Structure 1
Amino acid sequence: MSGAINWECPYCGSKSTIREDQDFLGNRFEFNLGNRHAYQAVKSLVIVCPNAECREYTFRVSICDHRKSAAGLWSDLPEKKFWRLCPQSKAKVFPNYIPELIRQDYEEACLIVDLSPKASATLSRRCLQGMIRDFWSVAGKNLFDEIDKVKDKVDPDTWDAMDSLRKLGNIGAHMEKDISLIVDVDLDEAELLISLIETLFTEWYVHRYERLQRMAKIKAVAAQKEAERKGE
């Protein structure tokens, strides 16, 4: 990471262009010490949010193999592991009118996504089921049945995405009949499921709340004008 990059703060959500040595700083060191993996490179990255009202920092650490090419040049291979330390996850802060248990499943899915994408997908699946039951007031014998019951209530793209989340979440929730068959969920897939949960939080709960607030204001203005007309 060098120069200037586009970045979104995980704390305040502001989008900005951050610059090396001004907003972010990276460090690295190498070690061997006779370990079984040969030369390793450890990298750290600190980013400070440019938003004056935020100024929070993020901190991550990664490790990769450090190898010499046939031409005799040393370079880093793709990172093998990385750890988000501050904040511990990419979870966004959603309002408390979204039920707490549903928000907890979402936050845990974000927290564990780097360590176990499969487990994260399972939590996203559970979060989706909780939302469908709460927001649409439906219940069924399983998630497939519940998703089917809201097919006429959501647009086709959303329904397809929810059904896809269910299928990926099933990989972690249910073992294959053939236990020797290994089906995994990768990090990108698990993060896509989390982004779907975030989209549904916004489209279902946040938009409904904002709509109710607007309607309440209109009613309040109308009531005030009616009172003024009657001289009250």
Structure 2
Amino acid sequence: MSSFAWECPYCNHHCVITANNSSINHDTFDLSNKFKKELLLKTSVIVCPNPKCSEIVVSCSLHELSSTHGSLPGSTRVITGAALEKWQLRPSSQAKIFPDYIPQPILNDYVEACKIRDLSPKASATLARRCLQGILRDYWKVKPNNLNKEIDQIEDKVDPLVFDAINAVRQLGNIGAHMEKDINLIIDVDPEEAQKLIELIELLLEEWYIVRHRRQEKLQNIKAINETKQAERKATN
């Protein structure tokens, strides 16, 4: 197998995965299934190469097979098209681990949005919307109102691109939360789109909470050093 860049969902360690720390298995079957084609179950196992972690990540996906010339090991068959279904088995979602100084209700909504991304993308988008509202109320201390007006309160405080992306989370979350006036009009949110909303939430948590916390730590350290030195000066006088 070829190597690829990877980030561990348990320790957030960035690394390169090779055959030394991963295993991919293929199990093919027909069994007169409803797809009328031979199917393949692909199982992937990755062990985090970080010695302080060494966690196991397991995922599966179901694919149709083609009998044309291809690249499956020891076979002339190939996987065709996108996966019919995907399962994230361990951990149960791709939610990242964030520090506990971020309010727990915000983290709960984020984790749940990750868990149901594939099962119900529209519900995931709705949870991302709710998570965003929690962030605005906690971090920016906006005056509670409807989310549209809450977002407007920070327009002059954030980068225009971030502002536009935040509005996109609100609008896509509305698709999941509210039925269209014409009930026969179906607008779906697919898992890849839901994932983009989750990634924006992750970006906001990183840039707003974690960066602020690290900044405060550095400033507090400088203040503590100065207080120690001033105490030493007084002691020698």
Q: Normalised by the size of structure 2, how large is the TM-score? A: 0.91
1:27 aligns with 2:25: yes
Structure 1 residue 227 and structure 2 residue 225: aligned?
no
User: CA offsets, 1:166-192, max 9 Å, x none?
Assistant: 111111011111111111112221111
Describe how 1:166-205 pairs up with structure 2 within 5 A.
166-205=170-209
Map 1:136-151 to 2 at 5 A.
Answer: 136-151=140-155
State the Cα deviation string for residues 1-30 of structure 1 (Å, max 9, x = none).
x2222222211222222222x211111122
Matched, 1:107 2:106: no
With over 3 angstroms needed to count, the CA separation of the structure-2 counterparts of 1:75 and 1:227, relative to structure 1, is: closer
**Preserved CA contact (<8 Å) 2:125 2:194:** yes
RMSD of equivalent CA atoms = 1.8
CA contact (8 A) 2:106 2:131 kept: yes
Query: Please, which runs of 5 or more residues in structure 2 have no aligned partner?
Result: 70-75
Q: Report the AA paired with residue 196 of structure 1.
A: L
Give deviations 1:50-101, integer Å, cap 9, x for gaps.
Answer: 122211111111111223349xx64322311010101111111111111100
Query: Does residue 161 of structure 2 align to residue 162 of structure 1?
Result: no
Identity between Structure 1 and Structure 2 (%) = 48
Deviation at 1:44, TM superposition (A): 0.7
Q: Is the 8 A contact 2:9 2:97 kept in 1?
A: no
Q: What residue is the counterpart of 1:17 in the other structure?
A: 16
After superposition, what is the alpha-carbon deviation per residue over 1:119-150, rounded to whole angstroms, capped at 9, x for unaligned?
11110000000010111111243100000011
In the alignment, structure 1 residue 36 sits paired with structure 2 residue 40: no
- 2:44 and 2:119 map into 1 onto residues whose CA distance is 19
Q: The residue matched to 1:77 in structure 2 has which SS?
A: strand
Structure 2 Cα separation of the partners of residues 80 and 101 of structure 1: 33
User: In structure 1, what residue type is equivalent to 2:16?
Assistant: T
Distance across 2 between alignment mates of 1:182 and 1:16: 41
Hey, which bits of structure 1, 4+ residues long, moved more than 6 A? none
Please tell me the residue identity of whatever aligns with 1:14: H
Aligned residues: 229
Gaps of 5+ in 1: none
Determine the C-alpha separation between the residues in 1 that align with 2:173 and 2:98: 22
Aligned to 1:66: 65
Question: CA separation in 2, counterparts of 1:230 and 1:74?
Answer: 80
Matched, 1:6 2:10: no
Tell me which residue corresponds to 1:216.
220
TM-score, structure 1 normalization: 0.93
SS at 2:155 equivalent: coil
**Structure-to-structure mapping, 1:73-152, within 5 angstroms:** 74-78=77-81, 79-152=83-156
Matched, 1:55 2:54: yes
d(CA) in 2 for partners of 1:35, 1:220 = 69
